[in-house]
Amino acid sequence: MRELVASVNVTLDGFMAGPDGSLDWHFKYWDSQLCESLCRQLARADTILLGARTYEAFANYWPAKANDLLMAKEDIIMAELMNQHTKAVVSKSIHLTPWRNTILLKGKLKKEIDQLKAQPGRDIIVLGSGQLVSSLMKLNLVDRYELWVHPVVISTGKRLFPILSHNIQMRLANTQVFSSGIVRLSYCCEKAGVQMPVVGLSA
C-alpha cells in the first residue's frame, strides 16, 4: 500500500497560510539547501496530489522551468521531477489539464485516495493545497506529515490542524535543521495499535 505524505510549510504558531492565503512569509527562506531536501522527498514519490488552485499555479510555472538556463541546478532538478510525476488533481471544476501527466479526481475523496493508494508505485505527496490537506486530515487519510517549520510568527491565518472529530496520533520519525532556521519534522501517523499522545504543532 502506498503512503500519502502531506508536505506542508508551517509557521512556529501553527499556520500554513496568512488570512488571505498568502505565503509571503515562506518565500524568503527558499534556498538551495531547502530545494535539495524537497527534491529528495519528491524522488521518493511518483504522484503529486493537488487542489485546483495549487494545480493551476503550478501548471503555469513549472512546465517551462526545466529548460530555463537561468534557474539554479537544484531548481531545474525539481522542475524535472514536478513535470515527470503524475499530477492527481482533486477538482470538480477543472476540465482542461495542459500540464502533462495530469489526471482528474472528481469522485468521492476517500474512495479516490484509497484507489490511488492501492495502485503500485511510490509515495503520493501533497504539496501546498491547504483546503485539500484539511479534507484529507478529516478523513484520516494522511500517513505521514513532513512539516517545514519556519522561524516566523504571523498570529492569524489558516491553521494547519483544524478542529477534527478525532485525534491524530503521531510518531516523530526524522528531523532536519537548515541554516536558514527552518526545521523539517517528519511524523508518521499511528492509525492502529497503542495510542500515543498527540505531538507536533497541533493548534
What CATH number should be reported for the domain holding residue 33?
Answer: 3.40.430.10
Q: Which residues span the domain enclosing 99? A: 4-189
Domain presence at residue 200:
no
Q: Look at residue 193 in the predicted model and tell me its pLDDT.
A: 37
Q: What pLDDT score was predicted for residue 64?
A: 84
- Asked if residue 35 belongs to a domain, the reply is yes
pLDDT at 198: 37
Domain assignment present for 199: no
What is the model's pLDDT at position 163? 65
Would 159 be classed as within a structural domain?
A: yes
Q: Which residues pair with 186 in a beta bridge?
A: 146, 174
Whether 120 maps to a domain, the answer reads: yes
* The three grid cell numbers given for residue 193, joined into one nine-digit string: 495499535
Q: What is the C-alpha to C-alpha distance for residues 176 and 185, in angstroms, rounded to an integer?
A: 7
Domain contains 196: no
The letter for the amino acid at 91 is S
Count of domains observed in the chain: 1
130: left (phi over 0), alpha (psi -120 to 50) or beta: alpha
203 part of a folded domain: no
Closest CA to 2 of 89, 114, 109, 84: 114
Among residues 149, 159, 200, the alpha carbon closest in space to that of 12 is found at: 149
Cβ burial, residue 175 (10 Å; 0-12/13-18/19+): exposed
Q: Which residues pair with 185 in a beta bridge?
A: 147, 175
Q: What is the pTM for the complete model shown?
A: 0.88
CA 84/CA 181 separation, integer angstroms: 31
Residues 6+ apart with CB under 8 A from 199: 170, 171, 172, 187
C-alpha cell at 153: 510568527
Instruction: Specify the residue for cell string 488552485.
Output: 53
CB of 15 closer than 8 Å to CB of 134: no
Give the ranges where 85-129 is alpha helix by DSSP (H): 109-118
Asked whether residue 91 is assigned to any structural domain, the reply reads: yes
CB-side neighbour CA atoms (13 Å) of 125: 22
What is the reported pLDDT for 68? 83
- Each residue's pLDDT tens digit in the chain (203 positions)? 899 999 999 999 999 988 888 888 988 898 999 999 999 999 999 999 999 989 998 999 899 887 887 888 888 999 999 999 999 999 888 776 788 999 999 889 999 999 999 999 999 999 988 889 999 999 999 999 999 999 999 999 898 887 666 788 899 999 999 999 999 999 999 864 333 333 333 33
